[in-house]
Structure formats: C-alpha cells, structure tokens
C-alpha cells in the first residue's frame, strides 16, 4: 500500500457488529467475561481498548513499523521511552531540543539519576566523538525546533548501532508523510500526534512506533504499568485527522516554501531558517531523507529587538499567536518566551535562538492571504 492509501485503510476494517465504516469510540472501562479468563482479548481499558488498537495498527503502517504504542501526550510517550533506561545511563541529544523534552530529561529524570547531554548533531561525525561508555540512548530531533537544523538520521543511527546504543527520533516536525526514520535505521519513532498527525488543534496525544517486537512488548508493558493511556475519543479524533495527513502536509509545505522565499527577499528580514534553501547547511541531507522540507519557518528581523518582534507577533490577523504547531490554521510564536522559555537564556543564545526570533507554523490557508498578513505586520515593526 502507498502512503495515501495507508492513511485511509491500514489496520481499519468496518466494525464487525454493525458495519460502521468509522472505527467506533469504545467508551468503556471494562469488558464482560463469559467465565473467569474467558474473554475476547479485552479485559480492562488501560490495558486494551479497540479504538486505540486500530489507531496503533494504522500508525505502525504509516511509519513502516511492526507496532505502535499510544499515550495521552507526546511527553507521556517520551516518559515511557526514558523508563527503558536505568539510573546512571546517559541520553545524548540535540542542543536545540524541544523545550518540554529537555525539561523532562533534566528536571524530572535528572534527580532520579538520568544523565543527559546536548550537542550539535548537524555534523554526524561529531556524534561519534561525543559518545561515552554510559551513553545508552541517542535522542534525535529533525528538523529541530525552532532553528530548523537537520540531523542525518541514517548516519547517526549507523554510529549508534555499531555501539549497541538505542536510537530515538522525534519525528513530530516532519510527520510520517515527509520522513520515516525506521527505514533509516532508527529503533523508535516518537510523535506528538497533537501536531501534524491530529492536525486540527483539537487533541493532545503521543505515540511510539517500533520495528522490533521485544521493544514493542517492553513499551506496551510500560504503557499499561505506568498508565498514561489516551482515551478512546482522542484516539478517534487522531484516526480522523490521519485520513487527510498527506493532503494537509503537502499543502502546508507548499505554502511554507512560498513564505520562506518571500521573507528571504523582504527588506526588513535579516535571516530565514528553512531547510529547503540551497544554502541551508544540511540542505542535501534534508533532500535525501525528507519528501518535502516541512511547514515550519523561523526568522529574525533586521531590527533585531524584542519590541520589533513583539509588534509582528501581535500584528498578524490570520497567523494566531499561540503555542503548538501542525494544525490546519497558521500559527505565529515567540520561542524565547513561549515554547523554549524552560531553556536557560545562555543555552538559547548559544544555538542562535535570539530574543527576537519568530517561528511560524504554516497552515493550509490561501498562501497569498498569509503573505499579505505577514507583510502588514512586518511593515509596522
Ligand atoms: C509538542 C512536542 C512534543 C510534546 O508533545 P505533547 O503532545 O505536547 O506532549 C514533543 N516534541 C516535539 C518536537 C513537539 O513539538
């Protein structure tokens, strides 16, 4: 099955009891047994839920995995992955990691004994040199947030495999339509399905996809034993969102490309970050591992002051000032005070995340309306 067919059909059958074409929302906490232990594969809804089971089959197919494991949020999915480690183990990750991921690793798991280190992974050879004996997991995010750096997934996973280190790729920014890390050698793919996979800014959800059945079993054990499971209504909404994933992401990427090029030529704009530019340091890698270049664009103004940035941020009418990304509607955000406020300022500045950096999540509206909206707001800055 090709991607556009999988989003609609993979793992999805009409409901056997009614013929309902849409997977029902099995809003139940338990299942009746005919005799002790005699049941239909469903005992208690933290452990198994039919709506969630269909979603997990569908997600596994989208990432070319063997199994998927769903959670109540992207960070709950990350939490389950970290629980595969032991005190004293180290996670090596990118130095512009998603703020919430960084906060969990440092502030929740730091006191518990997890070591974490953050490096520039744009050059894969520097990753090899950074690995220490206690490094048990490589945590890749690409494209990164909000600097839109690109990590060569195949190259980094090959280094990790040789040393027996588990690789995790946070594929939230790309979505399964643009990039499939398991095909490039990753062990675990993580999505905040809150973003592109759900796609309508109406649900918080996370998932993990793996190829290896022992790893899947371990993660399903943590899913049940720790209990951060999604409700069936949320699983239904994610299943519905997925049906148009390829259409939404394709249009959003086309719009983002037009906006990135427009901003790059704008007299008031200093710098635009978008992996589709030929001068982007890892454009070649992006071209190799992604289907399109994504729908996230960051930029700095020539008037590089927080005040000028604030004028743009509150001056758009279509781009809504909000956290999050990946929905059908365009959003504008200020990483330094919003998504990345939990990262110390010195750390932010080291990676180019200035106090005036503006981040766009480009949606699927008419692109000329979006460009007019940005131009009007930038004119005031
Ligand atoms: C939003 C996000 C997360 C966290 O997901 P939630 O669903 O908000 O818990 C993790 N990684 C990336 C890249 C994200 O954008």
Q: If you average pLDDT over residues 230-255, what whole number do you get?
A: 98
User: Is this model's pTM higher than 0.85 or not?
Assistant: yes
- For ligand 1, say whether the CB of 99 is within 6 Å of any of its atoms: no
User: Cβ(79) to ligand 1 under 6 A?
Assistant: no
Q: Give, for 208, the enclosing helix (H) or strand (E).
A: strand 206-210
Which atom of ligand 1 is the closest one to the Cα of 205? 7
How far apart, in whole angstroms, are the C-alpha atoms of residue 165 and residue 168? 10
Instruction: Output the furthest CA–CA distance in the chain (Å, rounded).
Output: 75
For range 365-380, the mean pLDDT: 98
Residue range 50-59: average pLDDT?
98
Catalytic site residue 195?
A: yes
pLDDT for 348 beyond 90? no
Q: Which two tokens stand for residue 248?
A: 């939404």
Average pLDDT over residues 232-244: 98
> In the chain, what percentage of residues exceed pLDDT 90?
92
Q: Is the CB of 172 under 6 A from ligand 1?
A: yes
In this prediction, residue 94 carries a pLDDT of: 95
Which residues make Cβ contacts (< 8 Å) with residue 212, sequence separation at least 6?
66, 187
User: Ligand 1 centroid to 74 CA: how many Å?
Assistant: 5
Pocket test for ligand 1, best of 78, 194, 296 (most atoms within 8 A of CB): 194
Please confirm whether the linkage preceding 146 is cis (ω < 30° from 0): yes
Which of the following is catalytic: 52, 115, 136, 195? 195
Q: What is the mean pLDDT of residues 291-303?
A: 97
Testing ligand 1's pocket by substitution, the residue of 75, 140, 199, 229 carrying the most ligand atoms inside 8 A of its CB is: 75
Pocket test for ligand 1, best of 70, 98, 178 (most atoms within 8 A of CB): 98
Q: Is the Cβ–Cβ distance between 339 and 145 less than 8 Å?
A: yes
Residue 347 pLDDT > 90: no
User: In the structure, what pLDDT confidence band is assigned to residue 341 with cuts at 50, 70 and 90?
Assistant: confident
Determine whether 46 is an active site residue. yes
Rounded CA separation 266/279 (Å) = 17
What is the overall mean pLDDT for the chain?
Answer: 96
Percent share of the chain, pLDDT over 70: 100
pLDDT at 340: 84
CATH topology of domain 3-242: 3.40.640
d(CA 75, CA 21): 32
Q: What is the pLDDT of residues 19-53, one digit of tens each?
A: 999 999 999 999 999 999 999 999 999 999 999 99
Examine the pLDDT at 215 and tell me if it is beyond 90.
yes
How far, in Å, is the centroid of ligand 1 from the Cα of 134?
26
Residue 339, pLDDT > 90, answer: no
| d(CA 300, ligand 1 centre) in Å | 23
- Write the DSSP string, 276-303: TSTTSTTHHHHHHH-SS--SEEEEEESS
How far from chain centre, in Å, is Cα 113?
A: 26
Compute CA distances 272 → 71, 201, 256, 334, 337, whole Å.
Answer: 34, 26, 12, 15, 19
How many Å lie between the centroid of ligand 1 and the Cα of residue 194?
7
Q: Of all atoms in ligand 1, which is nearest to the CA of residue 204? A: 7
Q: Could you tell me which residues come within 8 angstroms of residue 316 by beta carbon, excluding any fewer than 6 positions away?
A: 332, 373, 374, 376, 377
User: In whole angstroms, what is the distance from residue 302 CA to residue 275 CA?
Assistant: 21
**Per DSSP, what are the bridge partners of residue 361?**
296, 331
CB half-sphere exposure, 87, CA atoms < 13 A: 5
Domain ranges of the chain: 3-242, 245-379
CB-based contact 136:116 (threshold 8 Å): no
Cα(226) to ligand 1 centroid in Å equals 19
pLDDT at 350: 86
- Kind plus residue range of the DSSP H or E element containing 119: strand 115-119
Asked if the model's pLDDT at residue 85 lies above 90, the reply is yes
Distance, first Cα to last Cα, the chain: 49
Q: How far is the CA of 374 from the centre of ligand 1 (A)?
A: 26
List the 358-361 sheet strands across, edge first: 269-273, 296-301, 358-361, 331-333, 320-321
Question: What kind of fold does domain 245-379 have according to CATH?
Answer: 3.90.1150
Give residue 52's pLDDT.
98
Report, as an integer, the average pLDDT of 71-100: 96
């Amino acid at each position: 099955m090709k991607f556009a067919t999988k989003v609609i059909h993979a793992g999805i059958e009409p409901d056997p009891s009614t013929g309902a074409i849409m997977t029902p929302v099995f809003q139940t906490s338990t299942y009746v047994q005919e005799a002790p232990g005699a049941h239909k594969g469903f005992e208690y809804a933290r452990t198994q839920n039919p709506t969630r089971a269909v979603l997990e089959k569908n997600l596994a197919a989208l990432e070319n995995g063997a199994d998927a494991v769903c959670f109540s949020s992207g960070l709950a999915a990350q939490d389950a992955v970290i629980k595969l480690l032991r005190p004293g183990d180290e996670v090596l990750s990118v130095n512009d990691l998603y703020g919430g991921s960084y906060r969990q690793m440092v502030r929740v798991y730091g006191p518990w004994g997890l070591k974490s280190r953050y490096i520039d992974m744009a050059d894969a050879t520097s990753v090899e040199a950074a690995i220490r004996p206690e490094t048990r997991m490589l945590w890749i995010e690409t494209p990164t947030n909000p600097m839109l750096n690109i990590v060569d997934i195949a190259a980094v996973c090959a280094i990790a495999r040789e040393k027996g280190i588990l690789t995790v790729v946070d594929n939230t920014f790309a979505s399964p339509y643009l990039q499939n890390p398991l095909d490039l050698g990753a062990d675990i793919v993580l999505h905040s399905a809150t973003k592109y996979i759900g796609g309508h800014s109406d649900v918080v959800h996370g998932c993990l996809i793996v190829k290896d059945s022992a790893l899947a079993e371990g993660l399903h054990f943590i899913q049940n034993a720790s209990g951060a499971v999604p409700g069936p209504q949320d699983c239904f909404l994610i299943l519905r969102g997925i049906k148009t994933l390829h259409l939404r992401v394709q249009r959003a990427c086309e719009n983002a490309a037009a906006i990135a090029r427009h901003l790059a030529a704008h007299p008031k704009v200093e710098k635009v970050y978008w992996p589709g530019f030929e001068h982007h340091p890892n454009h070649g890698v992006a071209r190799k591992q992604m289907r399109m270049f994504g729908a996230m664009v960051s930029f700095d103004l020539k008037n590089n002051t927080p005040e000028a940035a604030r004028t743009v941020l509150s001056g758009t009418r279509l781009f809504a000032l909000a956290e999050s990304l990946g929905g059908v509607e365009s959003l504008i955000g200020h990483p330094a005070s919003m998504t990345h406020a939990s990262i110390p300022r010195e750390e932010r500045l080291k990676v180019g995340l200035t106090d005036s950096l503006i981040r766009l999540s480009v949606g699927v509206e008419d692109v000329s309306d979006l460009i007019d909206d940005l131009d009007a707001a930038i004119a005031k800055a």
